[in-house]
Each structure stands twice: as structure tokens, then as C-alpha cells.
Chain A
Amino acid sequence: QSVLTQPPSVSGAPGQRVTISCTGSSPNSGASYAVHWYQQLPGRAPKLLIYGNNNRPSGVPERFSASRSGTSASLAISGLQAEDEADYYCQSYDSRLSDSVVFGGGTKLTVL
């Protein structure tokens, strides 16, 4: 069971804005570490989407944004497009687990 909790699924129509939450299981579990987000298209390897809580790597559209507050984070996708349909994962580190890498359980985004 992930120490980072994400909703199993979200959906939205083209052009809409959706958000995906990522909540840490304990106030002390990872407050000192940044949260990162990955997009995984069907049949493909994960791809870094957001790093350091709210930074986009080169080539990632501005439609993707993220924020962080305490042990919770969220990913927002505005101007939803069909090509955004994918699984999204948050990731951080857990100081309670010897600074282990932790992933959220993943959220399936469906574009209606």
C-alpha cells in the first residue's frame, strides 16, 4: 500500500481542467522532500512531467502545472486533450523508510 495516496481515476471532457491529488500518509513522512509527477502513456515507460513540486522539464506543455502544500500535492491539467489520456504518478521520498523512494498508486485519466 502506497504511502502516497492518489485517486484511482479522474475524467474530463476536452478543453476542461482536471486535478489529481497526492496525499502523504503521515505529517512526518516526506515534508522535507519535493514531489515529482510522471505521465505514463499506454504501453510506454513513465516520463517525467513535473519535478521539484512545480517545475516543468523542457518540452512539457504549460497546460501541466503542479503545487505542493505540506504533505499534499496536486497536478493540474488545463485545456484537456485526447492525448493526455494516461496514468499519472506522484513520487517522493519517505524519511520514515530510510529515505526510500515512494510512488503514489497512480491515477488513470480518461478524456471523455
Chain B
Amino acid sequence: QLQLQESGPGLVKPSETLSLTCTVSGASISRTSYYWAWVRQPPGKGLEWIGSIYYSGSTYYNPSLKSRVIESVDTSRNQFSLMLSSLTAADTAVYYCAAHFDSQSFDYWGQGNLVTVSP
């Protein structure tokens, strides 16, 4: 049974870069076939996929966010991370990390990390 836990700041300033980390327990990132994903949800709105990464480092991103997103994986710490640059108020959201097999459902979710973009 996988468990995912996000960590990172709750408040960031406009134009800065957000950095979030997801710690995985219950399995080794490099020994499963899961893709490790980030999904966000602005207050009162729906879910938006940000991107996914495989333990090998292969990534694919939401085309609408691709220019501002970098995802990485640290197999030694069993963590994966998100960096989102050039923040604006529109990036205020709860950010979830999640796990899914290739082209399949999101089976496991973290509890979420609320990030507010404000001066």
C-alpha cells in the first residue's frame, strides 16, 4: 500500500518559483512501474494535471504548463519533486502528488498542500 506525502511552502510570492516534494512510502520509486504525478486544484475549482515522471526521469507535462514546469525524481530518497516558475495568483491551489500506471487511473494520492501566491 503506497503512501504519498507532499511537503513545501504554504505561501510564495508572485514571479517566484514554487518547489514541492512528495515522499513515497510503502514501495521503492525505482522498483515499481508507477508514474509519479502532480495534480492541482484551485480553490472551489476542478482538478488539473500538471505532469508525470517515471523513475528513469522520463517526463510528460500538461501542454498549458509545460514552459514553467520541471519535475524530477530522487530515487535515493524515494521522493519526486515539482518546480513551477513565474508564479501568479492563478497558481494558488492545493497541489496533490499521485501515482498512476502508464495511461491508467490515479491509484494513490497525497493529502494535498495548499499553496497561496501572494505578495
Known interface pairs A45-B110, A106-B46; A101-B105 also in contact (CB < 8 Å): no
Q: Does B47 have its Cβ within 8 Å of any Cβ on chain A? A: yes
A95 vs chain B, min Cβ distance (A)? 10
- How many angstroms from the CA of A103 to the CA of B104 in the assembled complex? 13
A105 to chain B: closest residue by CB: B46
Contact B106 A106 (CB under 8 A): no
- How many angstroms from the CA of A33 to the CA of B105 in the assembled complex? 10
- How many angstroms from the CA of A98 to the CA of B96 in the assembled complex? 22
Known interface pairs A99-B60, A100-B60; A48-B105 also in contact (CB < 8 Å): yes
Q: Does A16 have its Cβ within 8 Å of any Cβ on chain B? A: no
The size class of the interface chain B forms with chain A is 20 to 34
Instruction: Give the total of A residues in contact with B, Cβ under 8 Å.
Output: 25
Task: Among B46, B60, B96, B111, find the residue whose CB has the most chain A CB atoms closer than 10 A.
Answer: B46
B37 to chain A: closest residue by CB: A101
B109 vs chain A, min Cβ distance (A)? 4
- Pick the contact of A97: B39, B63, B111 (CB < 8 A): B63
Give A35-61 as 1s and 0s: 1 = Cβ < 8 Å from B's Cβ atoms. 010100000011110011000010000
A32 vs chain B, min Cβ distance (A)? 9
Contact B47 A106 (CB under 8 A): yes
Contact B46 A45 (CB under 8 A): no
Q: Does A2 have its Cβ within 8 Å of any Cβ on chain B? A: yes
Known interface pairs A34-B104, A45-B96, A51-B104; A102-B49 also in contact (CB < 8 Å): yes
Contact A52 B105 (CB under 8 A): yes
Give 13 new A-B contacts, CB below 8 A, not counting A46-B109, A101-B62: A2-B46, A34-B104, A36-B106, A45-B96, A47-B109, A51-B104, A91-B106, A98-B63, A100-B63, A102-B49, A103-B39, A103-B46, A106-B46
Residue positions of A touching B, CB distance < 8 A: 2, 33-34, 36, 38, 45-48, 51-52, 57, 89, 91, 93, 97-106
Pick the 7 closest A-B CB pairs, nearest first: A36-B105, A101-B49, A51-B105, A106-B46, A45-B109, A103-B47, A105-B46
